[in-house]
Amino acid sequence: MTQPNEKLIDAKQKLAEQRSAKGIGTGHESAPKKDRLPPGQRLASGFPVLDLGIQPEITTTDWSLEITGAAEKRTFKWDDFLKLPQTKLTTDFHCVTTWSIYDAKVEGVLWRDFLAAVKPDAAATHVMFHSYDGYSTNLPLQALNADPQAMLIHAFGGQPLERIHGGPVRGWVPTLYAWKSAKWVKGVEFMLKDKRGFWEVRGYHNHGDPWKEEVPR
């Protein structure tokens, strides 16, 4: 596997910094969640692709999902994952680089069904998603539990999730900016306290609510 594309990472970070320099997105606005399109967003045509310059090629046979940290250790292989309750949803999706998509048809395992299967310790407060490209992103367990559409998905638009979009399996957390939805997921770590993921240590907002414009700064 090659190294992450540092230039691409820098460019993306700058783009996001410019957005916060424009004075939007201090994260303290009390934006009502009534509009479908969050402030500062525009509808994309198609489904843009964003990554670190690495798109790992993981077959369903090679793929596995490891549960680590404050939970019963467990590894899901592809067949195990498909045996979990499967749900189809239609959701919107918002990236902090200002594109949004409407009515994405996704299929996979709802976070709440996943939680029921993995049983984290009661003391766990945060989750880190780990990916095959070295990416990671952190979320409070509460934020995941509060999103009825949070999922781990393996299909999009009725087709197996494309490699460029994180197949075989990616996170899908529509209530937060897209960087919280890890592609090529290989691990879910339950944590007893918060720790920052890939973009979060590089200045992205730790929470990332698009309706409050919790953008990088």
Ligand X SMILES: Nc1nc2c(c(=O)[nH]1)N[C@H]1C(S)=C(S)[C@@H](COP(=O)(O)O)O[C@H]1N2
Rounded to the nearest whole angstrom, what is the least distance from the CB of residue 212 to ligand X in the complex?
A: 17
Binding mask 169-198 for ligand X (x = CB under 6 A): ---------xx-xxxx--------------
Q: Does 20 bind ligand X (CB under 6 A)?
A: no
* Contacting ligand X within 64-93 (CB under 6 A): none
CA 158 – CA 57 distance, rounded (Å): 20
- Which of 93, 129, 179, 184 binds Mo ion (CB under 5 A)? It is 179
Binding mask 89-128 for ligand X (x = CB under 6 A): ------x---------------------------------
- Which of 21, 49, 82, 116 binds ligand X (CB under 6 A)? It is 49
**Which structure tokens are listed for 126?**
């945060």
CA 49 – CA 156 distance, rounded (Å): 14
DSSP one-letter code for 168: S
Binning the chain into helix, strand and coil, the percentages to the nearest 5 are: 20, 30, 50
Number of residues that bind ligand X (CB under 6 A): 18
DSSP letters for 70-134: SB--EEEEHHHHHHS--EEEEEEEE-TTSEEEEEEEEEEEEHHHHHHHH-B-TT--EEEEEETTS
Given the rule CB under 5 A, which of 49-57, 77-85, 104-112, 146-154 is the region that contacts Mo ion? 49-57
Residues that bind Mo ion (CB under 5 A): 50, 95, 178-179
Residues that bind ligand X (CB under 6 A): 47-52, 95, 131, 133, 135, 165-166, 178-179, 181-184
